[in-house]
Structure 1
């Protein structure tokens, strides 16, 4: 049984594993929340945006499970379990850094991706084979209070006769026509959606990087405890 300072490290590692349980739950919650918000606008997003919150969810689940291994290894003073915990925690640390950095890097590309997707999908708004595109546009315009990619006038090229999607008008009644002459949203959806997603990306990146650095302490503790356990076995 480890003694002295290593005994303190043992119980500190056990305590940190409780924190890892909480951080695992936090990662799952944040990843799921951002993914749910982004799912409404999937037609306007690239695959890379969806990967960051999904990666956080996966990492959160792994951390949640891994924390039990750390607890058992610390209490039983099992060298293999403690070392395995430390190595896996280091891998998770790298993955979290990757998710956080990817989120911040992709933040600068969000507007360009949205612009391309929106300009491509406007022409399919009224086509029967693209019902999901219509729904996505209506959700975006209703929720973010915007109209068209850059402005409402763009819809004339696709709908004609000064017609706008019903979601452009503040009444939002699908049974009523929405015209350029009606009270409609003035802001373009590219800027509105870009700002909305950039805020979510900052949250994903901040949580990923913040929790990753907290885990460094757990890695250090696990390495110290494993070394002490190994040394004690060698003495015996």
Structure 2
């Protein structure tokens, strides 16, 4: 084989068959160093992106479980939105959890495809990527829509739960437990953003006697002006001394209780969590776009590796040698 043939990717082989010489010319489709380097780089990039995919998917699963099944979150949702909105949020969280599971499984499939160098597994991986991309767009759109739903519900349902269903920190109904948790956890009191602590005793056309909790205070000789969960707790536990100081020293409420209402803080808490969902969906979608490009390029490179060689045969008759003597 001469140098010209080598440069053109040709290999030559000669066989003897009787008086004829058979010449085989084979066109080699071997990869160049650049192509081999691209395949290696693409494989490593795919593994790294799939590891990131796995971590984000696992985070989505844990986040969905936390938001859906933690009692404090369930209680919170019971006071801020209608039953339909709560059901929609719960469905959205189930979809997020399912998306996280699909992402984890897809990350595993992608790693298998990258390690095995199998273009058929890569094709299957690409198909599932498209399905997951549609799922992520759905999750992002749902989370944005739910933010508007909560904003529309919170003014009516949250105030109604405070005025009609909150019976005190020691009550066991869901709304009372929720309000106790919200006020002590978010460091707020009542509903209105400004001087929310006055909501319990404020009278209006709809509530001429104040809140249900305030009405129950008529049987209490001390008649507290606000619940214990509104008091500023400066210790690891709420002692009797803290309680006495909170309810007796009413000249400067800002020194003993949280004066700001819970409406804005609760809305911010829910919006921040839904914003996390939206951000995660966008981040995963961006990683998927990189996935699309990498997988298609890797598939194309692997197709070159498996392209069959082209072989051509030539037969040449040997000429008899002359017996001339010099």
Match of 1:189 in 2: 262
For the residues of structure 2 that align with 1:64 and 1:223, how far apart are their CA atoms? 21
Aligned counterpart for 1:63 among listed residues 94, 103, 114: 103
For the residues of structure 1 that align with 2:104 and 2:97, how far apart are their CA atoms? 11
Contact 1:111 1:190 in 2 (8 A): no
Structure 1 residues 132 and 56: CA distance shift in structure 2, 3 A: same
Match of 2:176 in 1: 134
Aligned counterpart for 2:153 among listed residues 113, 135, 142: 113
Kindly state the Cα deviation for residue 218 of structure 1 after the two structures are TM-superposed.
Answer: 0.9
Structure 1 range deviating more: 95-104 or 178-187: 178-187
Give the SS at the match of 1:41: helix
Kindly state the Cα deviation for residue 124 of structure 1 after the two structures are TM-superposed.
Answer: 1.8
Relative to total residues, which structure has the larger strand share, 1 or 2?
2
Aligned counterpart for 1:207 among listed residues 280, 283, 297: 280
For the residues of structure 1 that align with 2:198 and 2:44, how far apart are their CA atoms? 65
Aligned counterpart for 2:142 among listed residues 102, 108, 113: 102
For the residues of structure 2 that align with 1:59 and 1:20, how far apart are their CA atoms? 11
Structure 1 range deviating more: 39-48 or 123-132: 123-132
Match of 1:216 in 2: 289
CA root-mean-square deviation = 3.4
Relative to total residues, which structure has the larger helix share, 1 or 2?
1
Greater CA radius of gyration, 1 or 2? 2
For the residues of structure 1 that align with 2:269 and 2:30, how far apart are their CA atoms? 52
Aligned counterpart for 1:148 among listed residues 180, 186, 190: 190
Q: Unpaired segments of 5 or more residues in structure 1?
A: none
Cα offsets for 1:179-234 (capped at 9, x unmatched): 69464332221112112222222222112212211121112222333344456556
Structure 1 residues 55 and 2: CA distance shift in structure 2, 3 A: farther
For the residues of structure 2 that align with 1:147 and 1:153, how far apart are their CA atoms? 9
Kindly state the Cα deviation for residue 136 of structure 1 after the two structures are TM-superposed.
Answer: 0.4
Q: Unpaired segments of 5 or more residues in structure 2?
A: 1-28, 202-209, 310-326
Report the TM-score, using the length of structure 1 for normalisation.
0.79
Structure 1 residues 195 and 121: CA distance shift in structure 2, 3 A: same
